[in-house]
Structure 1
């Protein structure tokens, strides 16, 4: 059964992706990218050092990672649309709870609830929705979605900063909670209603399915390498993005740090646009390997260039390109390797490990910077990126070793 019987599949998919794109921009912008511009004010109000505020944020990411497998099972059982609709309400309530926190303990609890809500509304759930309703074209739809959502950092870093010039961090969270209730919630409820029949048909095996390329005897090994690669990329992505402004400032680029940071989002979009314009000819595994190499190379450029502005600009662009391709791979590689059956739970498990690594990244990277300095810290990130590339390359060896 089609969601829109009178519309061609191409138009139908574009409409759904556009709607999801709006909610992903708001979701990532308010639940993730807004934290860094507001962290200093949060720390000042509660009398904390900035390291402890980022430590609280890391704890909240850890909690969301541990919850992701359960969320994946809910998505497979109840449908991604319903989970995302409920998540919109949860995100708004969580932002309000954090904004109303009377003390540091309740503030930390609020941060944890915010990141728990994020598992219900961000990429993992959105990718699963696309796989559930249109599995045969989900790869292209996921690329389209990441192309739109790539503007989240570009939009919300300056938006959050501008709002914070006139509002307290608590009042900024009030505005963000309203965005989830007034914009995201209606879209997600609409998608939940429209996709209900698709999910019921999928549960009855009446929908077409996509088969994975890994043979049955290599599924566990392939999954281990895939999860390891994404976890390593998640670590350096979180470490660099959360600390991007402090890193640039420490390198003597504080006056242009915002300019450098704003190039990250457009570069993400550019890489996804390239993937789209190429007709998605690059296989998901190739995207994962290339993204790992780009992110490692970007950090190496920054390490080598130091306070040279051109090098910093090149770093932001190359890192954004790698991060953009990584986002596509996170949604398409599990589908390509393992197929569409059980996609929600599988992606939930992968997301759990990645978020655990990401949750440790801000605190661990701050600790390493404090004790070893900027140069060794960036060098470690380069090595981690290369390790991710090796993990994905080992999957390629598994495929080549498969019997005909």
Structure 2
């Protein structure tokens, strides 16, 4: 049901909360991790290993989060998540030893499933189903500035205070900024309020089941899940090991250039899509985003140690990663419709987090065995699996569209 104030106020408010949520709970960790490791007496690699365990825990919890989003409403879950995120950050800041720190880190990643894209996308679908596809794209454009803002902010704060004090500041930001926004968004207008405002409730333009008829939903979700798993493997492997990869390929000095190109490429890709890609279907976008990731890896392996090749790699990988975030929200909605979208998004988030938690370790093993170049090519080959899976979904949708009578027969036989 649409809000009297329309989608733009909701998107803007949610965009602010996403910037703070991703900035405090995700992007700050890489900057603070060395100080955390020194403080608790662990090697830095162990701290990142603890993060992998925490991401795995978040992935296991995500399906339950999705069901709560549908049952209680995404706004209420996100409001509770803001409190949970603040408590978890405080617990990490006050952790006296490594075991307590790891438990707090797990709590942070679990809380992240309540407040980041996996919850924000369902909120937009619940409040504005008729414009949800466009709203998700706009939200990712705004939230794309999280790293641009919080990498320098975290660095500046850490220059004047300890990592524990930085986490206390971030906990306060989740309570002071995100909690009021999520409480405000949790107030769903009633039909009578819409009529008083002169706005008729608008129904979704697509059927509740989306592009995929009921008898093909299981097969379509399996293919989509496989595609997202391959994409998550590529993205997580490369982002965690970005600087070591460039250094091993003789591109150590290109790290600054790559970091300068990667972030803007994500935002530029989303902005270009918003302006010029209105007629591009989510399935076509999924295939494009999946193809860009392995193509960029092959280019990097083939051109190293060329700085120009590294810059083009960063642009292509940033563009593919930026579109990957959008596809994670728009494709499930297009394929399966708004009904039960929270639970569906929870399952998608689970796939991404579980695979993403293991991917950096698997990539490290691959590079130890066959070198960085070989590891990149193997990762690119696996990334091509996402292209094949998304293309298979397209064929499935076309097949269903061309045989409506068969679909109805199958539905009645399955009833």
Q: Which residue of 1 aligns with 2:165?
A: 171
Q: Distance in 2 between matches of 1:334 and 1:242?
A: 27
Asked if residue 208 in structure 1 is aligned to residue 203 in structure 2, the reply is: yes
| 1:82-231 aligned within 5 A | 82-193=76-187, 195=188, 197=190, 208-209=203-204, 210-211=206-207, 212-231=210-229
After superposition, give the CA deviation of every residue in 1:30-52 in whole Å (9 maximum; x if it has no partner).
21122222222222333333332
2:247 and 2:10 mapped to 1: Cα distance?
41
Whether the 8 Å CA contact 1:54–1:363 is kept in 2: the answer is no
Partner of 2:300: 302
1:246 aligns with 2:244: yes
Who is 2:339 aligned against? 341
Residues 1:67 and 2:61 aligned together: yes
C-alpha distance in 2 between matches for 1:251 and 1:46: 33
CA contact (8 A) 2:31 2:155 kept: yes
Distance in 2, matches of 1:279 and 1:333, equals 15
Counterpart of 2:8?
Answer: 14
The 1-side partners of 2:356 and 2:190 are apart by: 35
Residues 61 and 359 in structure 1, CA contact (< 8 A), matched pair in contact too: yes
Please state whether the residue corresponding to 2:253 is helix, strand or coil: helix
- In structure 1, distance between residues paired with 2:88 and 2:323: 30
**Residues 303 and 15 of structure 1: is their aligned pair in 2 closer, same or farther, counting only changes over 3 Å?**
same
Match of 2:315 among 317, 342, 361: 317
| Structure 1 residue 303, shift from structure 2 partner | 1.4
Offset of residue 380 of structure 1: 1.9
Identify the residue that residue 277 of structure 1 maps to in structure 2. 275
Deviation at 1:328, TM superposition (A): 1.0
Residue 111 of structure 1: CA displacement?
A: 0.8
Instruction: Look up the match of 1:26.
Output: 20
- Could you tell me whether the CA contact under 8 Å between 1:55 and 1:362 is conserved in 2? no
Partner Cα distance (1:244, 1:167) in 2: 27
Task: Give 1:37's match in structure 2, choosing from 31, 55, 70.
Answer: 31
Residues 336 and 21 (structure 1 numbering): CA distance in 2 closer, same or farther, change over 3 Å? same
| In 2, Cα distance between equivalents of 1:125 and 1:157 | 23
Counterpart in 2 of 1:236? 234
Is the 2:37–2:44 Cα contact (8 Å) retained in structure 1? yes
- For the structure 1 residues 232 and 94, does the alpha-carbon distance in structure 2 shift closer, same or farther, using more than 3 Å as the test? same
CA shift in 2, pair 1:225/1:144, >3 Å? same
Q: Which moved more, 1:41-50 or 1:64-73?
A: 41-50
3-state SS of 1:253 partner: coil
Q: Unaligned 5+ residue runs, structure 1?
A: none
Equivalent residues of 2:53, 2:106 under 8 A apart: yes
Match of 2:408 in 1: none
- Equivalent of 1:374 in 372, 375, 378: 372
Q: Distance in 2 between matches of 1:330 and 1:80?
A: 17
Q: Deviations over 1:364-401 (max 9, x none)?
A: 22333334331122112211211111110110111122
Contact 1:71–1:119 at 8 Å: present in 2 too? yes
RMSD of the alignment, in Å?
1.9
Structure-2 change in CA distance of 1:264 and 1:370 (3 Å): same
The answer for unaligned runs of 5 or more in structure 2 is 195-200, 405-415
Give the TM-score normalised by the residue count of structure 1: 0.92
Once the 2 structures are TM-superposed, how far is the Cα of residue 207 of structure 1 from its aligned partner? 6.3
SS of residue matched to 2:238: helix
Deviates more, 1:179-188 or 1:369-378: 369-378
Secondary structure of the equivalent of 1:401?
helix
Is residue 3 from structure 1 mapped to residue 33 from structure 2 by the alignment? no
Q: 1:310 to 1:167 in 2, by over 3 A?
A: farther
Tell which structure's C-alpha radius of gyration is larger: 2
Q: Which moved more, 1:359-368 or 1:349-358?
A: 359-368
Question: Equivalents in 2 of 1:365, 1:45: separation in Å?
Answer: 28
Query: Runs of at least 4 residues of structure 1 off by over 4 A?
Result: none
| Counterparts of 2:305 and 2:132, CA distance in 1 | 42
In structure 2, what is the Cα distance between the partners aligned to 1:247 and 1:161? 23
